[in-house]
Amino acid sequence: MSQPYVIDKMISAKAIDARIEELAREIRATFGTEEKLVVVGLLRGSFVFIADLVRELEDINVEVDFIEASSYGDKMESSREVRILSDLRGEISGRNVLLVEDIVDTGHTLFQVVKYLKGRSPKRLETIALLDKPSRREVEIKATWTGFEIPDEFVVGYGIDYAQRNRNLPYIGKVRFT
Ligand code: IMP
Ligand code: MG
């Protein structure tokens, strides 16, 4: 049994929505609307973000793919060892790729997955993270685009879980143990 906790609202659904519109404009300006774009979601935390993001890119010929990397399990601490659990289905060689992450914490996951994807020779690879906790960083990496920088708090909602719970909250909240 996990310790009881409450969730304090941190970023509203409306604020997330507005930020995604801005981010989509920047993505469009970077990649253009002429070429195809492979949007790669890092499972599972990015599934809500990617769903909203691609719908803001409706004028781009987008292909959606997913990759799963090992994560925290049920713990709140990064394992620091990142393994690819489930690989892409499609080809990214010679193509424009946008990797979508829910949250960059220590940075190990983004670092390793970027390294892995670069090994597949994409034409151009950029990254986007909804959330960033810069104070927690252990490896030097930053997503091309970040939705919101947040302090060192454990957050849930909008696809992000605590021990597989709370992914379905429409907003981002922080976990507070009671
Ligand atoms: P990193 O490898 O330490 O950067 O961790 C990245 C992954 O850890 C994210 O994709 C999340 O799945 C998970 N994570 C990091 N911080 C949080 C949090 O506050 N709540 C839930 N999951 C988190
Ligand atoms: Mg994750």
Q: What is the CATH number of the domain that holds 125?
A: 3.40.50.2020
Would you state the pLDDT for residue 75?
A: 67
Distance CA 121, CA 140 (A): 22
DSSP-based three-state secondary structure for 16: helix
Distance CA 97, CA 147 (A): 18
**27 occurs within a structural domain:** yes
pTM of the model: 0.95
Spacing, Cα 16 to ligand 1 middle (Å): 18
Q: State the catalytic residues.
A: 105
**155 occurs within a structural domain:** no
The residues whose Cβ lies within 5 A of ligand 2, an ion, are: 45, 71
Ligand 1 contacts (CB < 6 A) are 45, 71-72, 78, 101-110, 154-155, 160
C-beta of residue 157 within 8 angstroms of C-beta of residue 131: no
Distance CA 133, CA 55 (A): 26
Q: Which residues pair with 39 in a beta bridge?
A: 64, 98
Q: Which residues of the chain have pLDDT under 70?
A: 1, 71-75, 78-79
**38 occurs within a structural domain:** yes
**4 occurs within a structural domain:** no
At 92-135, the pLDDT tens digits run 999 999 999 999 999 999 999 999 999 999 999 999 999 999 99
**6 occurs within a structural domain:** no
Q: Which domain holds residue 25?
A: 14-150
Spacing, Cα 57 to ligand 2 middle (Å): 23
**173 occurs within a structural domain:** no
Distance CA 171, CA 134 (A): 21
**134 occurs within a structural domain:** yes
Q: Domains in the chain: how many in total?
A: 1
